[in-house]
Structure 1
Amino acid sequence: MTKILMIEDDLELAEILMEYLEQFEMSITVADDPYMGLSTLDTQAFDLVILDLTLPGIDGLEVCKEIRKRHTLPIIISSARTDITDKVTALENGADDYLPKPYNPRELQARIMSLLRRQKGLLTTEQLPQKQKAFHLIEEQMRIDFQGKELHLTAAEYGILAYLIKKEGGVVSREELIYNIEVISEETTNKSIDVIIGRIRQKLGENPKEPLYIHAVRGIGYKFIQ
């Protein structure tokens, strides 16, 4: 039985979705209060979360960020908000999928199954012997080794590269780098971030047109992969 937590304050919609999904051996727990939802996640085991964005007390984007800090389970955003900024922010905050309302419950069920298959594949991969990674982050020494040798980085270069390594595989916006790295001033421009990224790439011997590790995501920021 697949266990799903639905954080949704529209109880009529939640009831419709619950009845439909239960046909597919999915057990649905509904929390119409976001704080109750977070508490439930911390005390019970679930396979997936369906999260609305317009919630009482706290915005769903913040709830998504908080869930991702504590848990690795898949998150599907189910929201009537269709603004591209909300979609991008949700994905940056750790959501795995974004389904705009209204939608057919059958599509939700298909997306749930797709994410669960992907999650199962990731777990299987994690059980295999891991290849040696090119980067080794040693935070207590503020040091990053690359291919077995220490990289000589400025404080800003270290901060950005360390942040990207910790967010490996996820898209990181320039604004996120500016506001989450202490040595970078909040007045720093996006262009300055690009310049620092360029210096890091030079030290890695990367060709920005054919990057191996730091990939530009048009209009948003960067993604680190190794």
Structure 2
Amino acid sequence: MRSDHILVVDDDPDIRQLLATYLKKNGYQVTLAEDGQTMHRLLAHQAIDLVVLDLMLPGEDGLTLCRELRTRTALPVIMLTARGGLVDRIVGLEMGADDYLAKPFDPRELLARIRVVLKRTRSFPPQSAPDDATRLGFAGWELDVGAGLLRSPKGVTIALAGSDARLLQLLLNHPNQALGRDFLLQQVFQKERMPFDRAIDVCISRLRQHLGDPPRSPRFIQTVRNQGYRLTVDAVERR
């Protein structure tokens, strides 16, 4: 059985070596990159399961690289940063990161987060051939559940962040039902909601942007006051 392959992108050689040693000791295959250019080259030639991406990089920063990854792939991304403020965490999530860890950190915590993110990602059915993949259609849109791809009525394909794809699938599976933020957070991120935790709100904001859904008068995803969110259209399963 193939070990999960982690790509660590960080310009600090000490951190790269520390993570390579620790993750390999815990059964992972690890590849290292010091900048975005190297990251793109490695992704083009190797099968990667998860990217650990530093925010502060020379050249293109981690936020830019994360946004680029989201437009091209559904790879899960965990962001690292020396700036651990709330705004930075929110911006990281808005760019499509699946999780966020502030430096300095304990490698054991990163290992736990990697395991959780990979488990979440694989809660979707495995990707299959297009004719066999389960798809959920709604109002001309279509979510390819296995691949985490959203297709517009005009045929434009969008690679969703893993958390966004899971959230949209959850809403599609419970149409016209108000789903609370605590429930959504536990189902999507497998964690309890902390004060000021906006992870679900950030995912909803990204989904609305993808759907062209204005937040003040949304057509698809409505905010239910003091509760959470509700998808206002029915979904049809396709194969």
TM-score clears 0.5 = yes
Structure 1 gap segments, 5+ residues each: 143-162, 182-192, 215-223
**Structure ranking higher on relative contact order (CA contacts 8 Å, 6+ apart):** 2
Q: CA deviation at 1:124?
A: 4.3
Q: Distance in 2 between matches of 1:141 and 1:12?
A: 45
Residue aligning to 2:85 = 83
One of 133, 140, 155 as aligned partner of 1:136: 140
Q: Tell me, yes or no, if the aligned pair for 1:212 and 1:225 is still in contact at 8 Å.
A: no
Which residue identity lines up with residue 140 of structure 2 in the other structure?
H
Residue aligning to 2:200 = none
Q: CA deviation at 1:60?
A: 0.8
Q: CA deviation at 1:134?
A: 3.5
What are the residue-to-residue correspondences of 1:47-58 with 2, within 5 Å? 47-58=49-60
Number of aligned residues = 180
One of 217, 220, 230 as aligned partner of 1:212: 230
Q: CA deviation at 1:40?
A: 1.2
Q: CA deviation at 1:110?
A: 1.0
Residue aligning to 2:11 = 9
What are the residue-to-residue correspondences of 1:1-226 with 2, within 5 Å? 1-124=3-126, 130=134, 133-137=137-141, 139-140=153-154, 169=168, 170-172=203-205, 177=209, 193-195=214-216, 197=217, 200=219, 208-209=224-225, 211-213=229-231
> Any idea what SS the aligned residue of 2:84 has?
coil
Which residue identity lines up with residue 81 of structure 1 in the other structure?
R
Percent same amino acid among aligned pairs? 31
Q: Provide closer, same or farther for how the CA distance between residues 24 and 225 of structure 1 changes in structure 2, counting only shifts above 3 A.
A: farther
- When you count helix as a share of all residues, which structure comes out higher? 1
Residue aligning to 1:148 = none
Structure 2 gap segments, 5+ residues each: 142-151, 169-202
Q: Distance in 2 between matches of 1:99 and 1:68?
A: 19
Q: CA deviation at 1:173?
A: 5.8
Q: Provide closer, same or farther for how the CA distance between residues 10 and 38 of structure 1 changes in structure 2, counting only shifts above 3 A.
A: same
Which residue identity lines up with residue 136 of structure 1 in the other structure?
G
Q: Distance in 1 between matches of 2:122 and 2:100?
A: 20
Bigger Rg, structure 1 or 2 = 1
Q: Which moved more, 1:117-126 or 1:103-112?
A: 117-126
1:95-153 Cα deviation digits (max 9, x unpaired):
100011111111111111111112222134989984754432363399xxxxxxxxxxx
Q: Distance in 2 between matches of 1:207 and 1:69?
A: 26
Q: CA deviation at 1:43?
A: 2.0
Q: CA deviation at 1:39?
A: 2.1
